Amino acid sequence: MGAGVALFAAVFLACAVEAVEATTIVLAAGTARDWRSALTGVAAGLLVLAVVVAVLGPALTLIPLRGLRLAVGGLLLVFGLQWLRKAILRASGHKALHDEAAIYQKQLAGAQTAAREHRGAVADWYAFTLSFKGVVLEGLEVAFIALTFGSNQHDIPLAAIAAVSAVVVIAAAGAAIRAPLARVPENTLKFVVGILLTSFGAFWGAEGAGAHWPGSDAALLVLVPCVAVFAVGLVAALRTRSAAADRAPAGTTA
């Protein structure tokens, strides 16, 4: 029960973040160019993702669990550390915050200046490719997270439900307000997802390499809060370091 809730929450949050980014791109393509072409791009992107999931999903279930946990745990850990690194840099003021409204305006400006080109059944090729790329690139991360979490926990259907729910909720919100979802606390979500990916990746990776966790799956209940506290501590340390550097007279910093 607990593992199922953790699986659902981790996949839902990670997929929601990616869905917000894809929605911003599709909204820009549809608003500035042509909704029909943009939505055709979405459909084509979803088709590509469905093929990827249909091929990779069954293939993952054929790999022995230990090998799967080692490979997938390692990948998730690298992936999670990447997310967490960026999230800590953003939270401590060393990297610009992810601003969905600004990204939308940039995409909109780019879309408004591009030339219109008719190709085959697509009235506006630029709107089609912009939407298609957005859906495929962000969707690949969704598919990767859902498949890896699902296969490791032997519950791909639950992971798929979590991923689809996140995409449906975000897409419905985007369609309802026809504006970038700037109110979604994306930076906080990314921080949380980075913690979850890092924790699950460390757990599965170590287990796949042959380690035995004290308390078995219950070790995750300690690991996740420990990674969270560590990450928050790093944010505080980096903020303190920046404040000290700002206060120091020029030429006195190491």
φ, ψ for residue 93, nearest 5 deg: 85, 15
**70 near other proteins, judged by CB under 8 A:** yes
Which residues is 119 bridged to in the sheet? 122
**89 near other proteins, judged by CB under 8 A:** yes
What is the total count of residues that contact other proteins (CB under 8 A)?
41
Shortest CB 176 distance to other proteins, Å: 31
Q: Are 129 and 34 in contact (CB under 8 A)?
A: no
**15 near other proteins, judged by CB under 8 A:** no
**206 near other proteins, judged by CB under 8 A:** yes
- Residue-level length of the chain: 254
Closest Cα partner for 46 from 66, 10, 22? 22
Among the candidate windows 2-10, 43-51, 178-186, 210-218, which touches other proteins by CB under 8 A? 210-218
Shortest CB 244 distance to other proteins, Å: 12
Q: Give the one residue of 115, 212, 250, 251 binding other proteins; rule: CB under 8 A.
A: 212
If the CB atoms of residues 4 and 93 are measured against other proteins, the closer one turns out to be 93
Tell me the helices (H) and strands (E) count for the chain, helix number first: 8, 0
Rounded-to-integer distance, Cα 39 and Cα 209, Å: 44
Q: Give the one residue of 22, 68, 84, 184 binding other proteins; rule: CB under 8 A.
A: 84
**86 near other proteins, judged by CB under 8 A:** yes
Query: Please, which of residues 220-249 interact with other proteins by CB under 8 A?
Result: 223, 226-227, 230-231, 234, 237-238, 241-242
Q: Give the one residue of 82, 112, 188, 240 binding other proteins; rule: CB under 8 A.
A: 82
Rounded-to-integer distance, Cα 23 and Cα 177, Å: 11
**135 near other proteins, judged by CB under 8 A:** no
**87 near other proteins, judged by CB under 8 A:** no
Ramachandran bin of 123, using left for φ above 0, alpha for ψ from -120 to 50, beta for the remaining angles: alpha
The alpha-carbon radius of gyration of the chain (Å, integer) is: 20
**88 near other proteins, judged by CB under 8 A:** yes
Give 246's contacts (C-beta < 8 A, 6+ positions apart): none
**97 near other proteins, judged by CB under 8 A:** no
Shortest CB 202 distance to other proteins, Å: 5
35-62 helix and 125-152 helix, angle to the nearest 10 degrees: 30
Which residues is 122 bridged to in the sheet? 119
Number of Cβ within a 10 Å radius of residue 243: 11
Shortest CB 3 distance to other proteins, Å: 18
Binding-site ranges for other proteins (CB under 8 A): 70, 73-75, 77-79, 81-82, 84-86, 88-89, 92, 94, 140-141, 198, 202, 205-206, 208-214, 219, 223, 226-227, 230-231, 234, 237-238, 241-242, 253
